[in-house]
Amino acid sequence: MASFVGRMVGAARLDPATYEEVEADKTATGQAMGVVLLSSLAAGIGGLGAGEQGFLGGLIVGLMGWVIWAFLTWIIGTKLLPEPSTQSDMGELLRTLGFASAPGFLRVFGWVPIVGGFLTMAALIWMLVATVIAVRQALDYTSTGRAVLVCVIGWFVNLVVTIWAAAALGIALFGLAAVTTP
């Protein structure tokens, strides 16, 4: 079994064997949550202009998005678009998708003038590719195209849910700030 850091590196290297390892290791869900939190933390540091409320909200939305994304992927991948060999559960998707956010650590450099935006964009694209591999491995797909389709459908649904959740959280934090500010 690889170490936590070894698994993050393997996930970032887009190594299918790493995704198979975390899929099978039922004790790795906490590690996957750690990757999501660290990746969200990096995004928060990279976007320092949002302030403390935006930073904390980003961590919460990052965790919520991870769980929602895993659930949507499980529904779409196992119920709507399964292959004959598809067998998966929420835990497997939470673990693989959590580790797919490992390239997001690069977002910590989002604050750097000129190159920060490019690095953030590169991290997001890298995370997208990692997500496709994570989905392919977790759902035991033989087709990468099917994994892409599951991700595209899930992305649209997740986008709507995440925007709604972020708006609700923003309204709540704004209201809390208004009530607590003299």
Domain ranges of the chain: 4-180
* DSSP H/E element including 68: helix 51-75
Q: What is the pLDDT of residue 14?
A: 97
Place of tokens 């099978």: 24
Q: Map residue 14 onto helix, strand or coil.
A: coil
Number of Cβ within a 10 Å radius of residue 92? 25
50-108 residue pLDDT tens? 555 556 766 777 888 899 889 999 999 999 999 999 999 999 999 999 999 999 999 88
Residue 1 is given by DSSP the state -
Residue 115 has pLDDT above 70, yes or no: yes
Interhelix angle for 4-12 vs 16-24, to 10°? Answer: 140
Residue 67: both structure tokens together? 């769980």
Residue 101 is given by DSSP the state T
Sign of CA dihedral 99, 101, 103, 122: positive
21-34 residue pLDDT tens? 999 999 999 999 99
Q: What is the pLDDT of residue 61?
A: 75
Cα 140 vs. chain centroid, distance in angstroms? 19
119-171 residue pLDDT tens? 989 999 999 999 999 999 999 999 999 999 999 999 888 778 778 877 777 77
Place of tokens 């980003």: 58
Given a contact cutoff of 8 angstroms between Cβ atoms, the answer to whether 135 and 96 are in contact is yes
Place of tokens 């991948």: 77
36-61 residue pLDDT tens? 999 988 888 887 755 555 567 667 77
- Report d(CA 93, CA 74) in Å as an integer: 7
Q: What is the pLDDT of residue 160?
A: 82
Residue 17 has pLDDT above 60, yes or no: yes
Sign of CA dihedral 161, 23, 9, 151: negative
